[in-house]
A and B are shown apart, each in its own frame.
Chain A
Amino acid sequence: MKIKEVDREEYLSLGNLACAGCPETLGFRHVLKALGPNTIVINQTGCLAVVMQMAVPKVPHFHVLFENSAAVISGIDDALRVRGKREGVNLLVVAGDGGTADIGLSALSGAIERNQDFIYVCFDNESYMNTGGQRSGTTPFCARTSTTPVGKVIRGEDRVPSLRKDMLEIVAAHHIPYAASTSIAYPLDLIERVRKAAAVRGPSYIHCHSPCPTGWGIDTSEVVNAARTAVQAGVVILYEVEAGVRRRTKRVAKRKPIEEYLRFQARYRHVLDDPEALARIQKDVDERYEAITAALA
């Protein structure tokens, strides 16, 4: 897809409550451009709920609870079907990784399994940012958050084994018609993925990597760069799962070493001079990269 094909309409007002450099706002802006005005947005509690208080999008928007967006949108889907009004309307959920991978996982799982017709976009900033940056089920190994501080004994996220929840694979295991990973660093890819999701009948899921300057300690000017480096280092793998077939959507010629990604982020400062931790993180990234690559068509 070409940049001139992108909708010029702005559905999200500028001057909203987001932090400078907010990746979720950037990603959401592009999601709305991909879907256009015939969209109902259901939004789970999280940063975006706060952002949208003032950023009145030109589409109906319903901020629900922290964990029930997939259930609310199921009711909307069913009601519009019974009322003969389902055609031509995109039903969109936007949520954070906490609301998706943790507290709202059961509602999401149920809605996908029931084959409800909706698009679910998870903006993964790898922490609970709306409540001040606590860990979530997608917080990576070693990362510092407010509930995984770098202490004298335990230094950052210390889950054993070290890998975080893999939402895309969890969702794929539901035999979902369409799921994909994307990143705020690649807006055209994001738009393409969302459009593809919208064309699907039934549930679709987009996992959007969203490095957060406030939580991760990245300079606001480096947010997109950090997101791009995550892909180049193979920490984030962009691929889609369509009817069970996995296909790569962004190729990486030569993977960058993990340090190049970590050095943007204050949350990893304590590991940069810890060769053991670095080796562990690199090993995890390598192993996952190879496993997913092997599964790609």
Chain B
Amino acid sequence: MTAEFWNGTMAAAAAAKQARVQVNAAYPITPQTHTVEYLSRFVNDGELDARLCKVESEHSALSACAGAAAVGARAFTASCSQGLALMSEVMYFTSGMRFPVVMAVANRTLSVPVNIWADHQDTLVNRDAGWIQIYTQTVQEIYDLILLAFRIAEHEDVCLPALVAYDGFILSHASEPVHPLDQAAVDAFLPPPGSADRPLLDPARPLQFGEVLFPDWYPDFELKKHRALADSLGTIRKAFEEFEAASGRRYAPVDAFATDGAEMVIVGLGSMMKTARHTAEKLREDGVRVGTAALRVFRPFPAEDLLEAVGGCRTVLVLDRDIGYGTGGMVYPDVTRILYHEDHRPDVLNFIVGTGGKDITPATIERCVELARGGYRGRVEFWPDARGAEEGVPYTEEPAAP
């Protein structure tokens, strides 16, 4: 197929359409709204044979998707920020029920202060809701990984919901050339919707769903759910390989660049990792051996892949576009956890950057590298783009330089 010029919300809607979703239930919220609008258009124009469940809240959006999944349909929703926070209860419910719902999230921070711009607070506070979490760096990736998410979530060994996250405005509203698959290729890549063989609500075979589990058996269930998510990494790898065969595009759980022999490796999520890579390329020309490792798959956590990327370096720079108030960035502890038991333990520094949509530019990344090289004397947490931190931007009367 020829290239399209799509923004992120359109790429998400197009992928859902080509996946032949059967029930689509979503509620408007900036910057995700256009996905709902595009899907409404596809259905009203007769291009997509689906039901639009025009729900009155995000809580109901995901609940309706869960209901659709309970009778075997392919269900899709989209949300972010306040909407995702409202959905949180249903996210745990959906994963506990092992419903393979797919959700596109145009990352946006959580109010207050009111702010509609990108950071990963909304998906990261739900990182332990039992969902597969995939983070994207380009519009092409949004399209590809939503198709992949259906394939992975519905796989009989997985049966878990999956969300594909992309940075609000930075990717949702930026148009890039995208190479979609043609419909026949998508149909060959994904099983027909509603064909998954799993227990369903059906009067012909009455089953009880959502019942109580007493303490004696609870750990057994939790272990199964945990293992299912952890082990889904194998299915994810296989799906990536199959997708490469179908599209020619290669994905890995960790998108590593120049990590071999690197002195420093920058780790993080989302579109800022493209900026980090671009900056690393530049720094390498100046002889600073910087590599990058973007966590494309964040849940399940790709420990092995990340260890391979960062295990040999001297300093790991974890960029968190989020903040776990009162402790630190939310990606950081996952990175330190995997390194703690290694013989060679690099220093791991945490940079809180780009919250509430503050631009992450090459200068931001350079500043992080500079701080990492400057002798941090036991400090691990840095706020290079905040006023009020010693390492941050100064308070000034003058308007900030463009």
Q: Which of A54-72 contact B (CB under 8 A)?
A: 56-65, 67-68, 70-72
Q: Which of A199-252 contact B (CB under 8 A)?
A: none
Verify if A114 is at the interface (C-beta below 8 Å from B).
yes
Query: B72 — which chain A residues lie within 8 A by C-beta?
Result: 79, 83
Say whether B210 contacts A82, CB under 8 Å.
no
Query: B69 — which chain A residues lie within 8 A by C-beta?
Result: 75, 79
How far in angstroms is the closest Cβ of chain B from A82? 4
Choose one: B55, B203, B205; the contact of A71 (CB below 8 Å). Answer: B55
Among A35-43, A175-183, A261-269, A289-297, the stretch in contact with B: A35-43
Say whether A76 contacts B71, CB under 8 Å.
yes
How far in angstroms is the closest Cβ of chain A from B340? 38
Query: B232 — which chain A residues lie within 8 A by C-beta?
Result: none
Bound-state CA distance A79–B93 (Å) is 19
Contacts A82-B49, A106-B56 hold; do A72 and B22 have CB atoms under 8 A apart?
Answer: no
Say whether A82 contacts B60, CB under 8 Å.
no
Contact with B along A15-51 (1 / 0, CB 8 A): 0000000000000000000000111101000000010
Query: A114 — which chain B residues lie within 8 A by C-beta?
Result: 53-55
Choose one: B56, B63, B89, B212; the contact of A72 (CB below 8 Å). Answer: B63
Query: B205 — which chain A residues lie within 8 A by C-beta?
Result: 60
Choose one: A52, A62, A110; the contact of B56 (CB below 8 Å). Answer: A110
Verify if B201 is at the interface (C-beta below 8 Å from A).
yes
Contact with A along B72-99 (1 / 0, CB 8 A): 1101000000000000011001000000
How far in angstroms is the closest Cβ of chain B from A56? 6
Query: A78 — which chain B residues lie within 8 A by C-beta?
Result: 22-23, 25, 51, 53, 64, 68, 73
Verify if B111 is at the interface (C-beta below 8 Å from A).
no
How far in angstroms is the closest Cβ of chain B from A159? 26
Query: B56 — which chain A residues lie within 8 A by C-beta?
Result: 106-107, 109-110, 113
Query: A81 — which chain B residues lie within 8 A by C-beta?
Result: 51
Say whether A75 contacts B75, CB under 8 Å.
yes
Bound-state CA distance A62–B52 (Å) is 23
Query: B197 — which chain A residues lie within 8 A by C-beta?
Result: none
Verify if A6 is at the interface (C-beta below 8 Å from B).
no
Say whether B55 contacts A79, CB under 8 Å.
no
Verify if B28 is at the interface (C-beta below 8 Å from A).
no
Verify if B159 is at the interface (C-beta below 8 Å from A).
no
Bound-state CA distance A284–B204 (Å) is 48
Choose one: A59, A74, A82, A83; the contact of B203 (CB below 8 Å). Answer: A59
Say whether A62 contacts B57, CB under 8 Å.
no
Verify if B65 is at the interface (C-beta below 8 Å from A).
yes
Verify if A85 is at the interface (C-beta below 8 Å from B).
yes
The residue in chain B whose Cβ has the minimal distance to the Cβ of A110 is B56
Say whether B60 contacts A106, CB under 8 Å.
yes
Say whether A83 contacts B64, CB under 8 Å.
no
Verify if B372 is at the interface (C-beta below 8 Å from A).
no
Query: B202 — which chain A residues lie within 8 A by C-beta?
Result: 40, 60
Verify if B399 is at the interface (C-beta below 8 Å from A).
no
Say whether B71 contacts A68, CB under 8 Å.
no
Say whether B53 contacts A53, CB under 8 Å.
no
Verify if B207 is at the interface (C-beta below 8 Å from A).
yes
Bound-state CA distance A50–B211 (Å) is 9
Query: B22 — which chain A residues lie within 8 A by C-beta?
Result: 78-79, 82-83
Contacts A53-B211, A114-B54 hold; do A64 and B63 have CB atoms under 8 A apart?
Answer: yes
Verify if B312 is at the interface (C-beta below 8 Å from A).
no
Verify if B66 is at the interface (C-beta below 8 Å from A).
yes
How far in angstroms is the closest Cβ of chain A from B218? 15
How far in angstroms is the closest Cβ of chain B from A25? 16
Contacts A65-B90, A80-B71 hold; do A60 and B57 have CB atoms under 8 A apart?
Answer: no
Specify which of B54, B59, B202 lies most central, judged by the most chain A CB atoms within 10 Å of its CB: B59
Say whether A37 contacts B203, CB under 8 Å.
yes
Bound-state CA distance A62–B70 (Å) is 9
Query: A52 — which chain B residues lie within 8 A by C-beta?
Result: 208, 211
Choose one: A37, A42, A83, A110; the contact of B60 (CB below 8 Å). Answer: A110
Q: Which of A156-201 contact B (CB under 8 A)?
A: none
Say whether A72 contacts B54, CB under 8 Å.
no
Say whether B208 contacts A83, CB under 8 Å.
no
Bound-state CA distance A107–B66 (Å) is 14
The residue in chain B whose Cβ has the minimal distance to the Cβ of A45 is B210
Verify if B326 is at the interface (C-beta below 8 Å from A).
no
Say whether B23 contacts A71, CB under 8 Å.
no
Bound-state CA distance A86–B206 (Å) is 16
Verify if B194 is at the interface (C-beta below 8 Å from A).
yes
The residue in chain B whose Cβ has the minimal distance to the Cβ of A77 is B67
How far in angstroms is the closest Cβ of chain B from A41? 9
Choose one: A38, A61, A71; the contact of B67 (CB below 8 Å). Answer: A71
Contacts A37-B203, A62-B201 hold; do A75 and B49 have CB atoms under 8 A apart?
Answer: no
Say whether A72 contacts B64, CB under 8 Å.
yes
Say whether A107 contacts B209, CB under 8 Å.
no
Contact with A along B254-270 (1 / 0, CB 8 A): 00000000000000000
Say whether A71 contacts B211, CB under 8 Å.
no
Query: A56 — which chain B residues lie within 8 A by C-beta?
Result: 208
Say whether B90 contacts A58, CB under 8 Å.
no
Contacts A39-B203, A107-B57 hold; do A71 and B73 have CB atoms under 8 A apart?
Answer: no
Bound-state CA distance A42–B60 (Å) is 14
How far in angstroms is the closest Cβ of chain A from B207? 6
Instruction: Kindly list 5 other residue pairs between chains A and B, CB separation below 8 angstroms, not including A78-B51, A80-B71, A114-B55.
Output: A60-B208, A62-B209, A64-B93, A74-B64, A82-B22
A-B residue pairs in contact (CB < 8 Å), sample of 17: A38-B203, A40-B202, A52-B211, A63-B209, A63-B211, A65-B90, A65-B93, A71-B59, A71-B64, A75-B64, A75-B70, A78-B23, A78-B68, A79-B69, A109-B56, A110-B57, A110-B60
Spell out B's residues near A (CB within 8 Å): 22-23, 25, 49-51, 53-57, 59-61, 63-73, 75, 89-90, 93, 194, 201-203, 205-212
For the complex of A and B, 7 pairs with smallest distance between CB atoms:
A75-B67, A110-B56, A79-B73, A75-B64, A71-B60, A71-B63, A78-B51
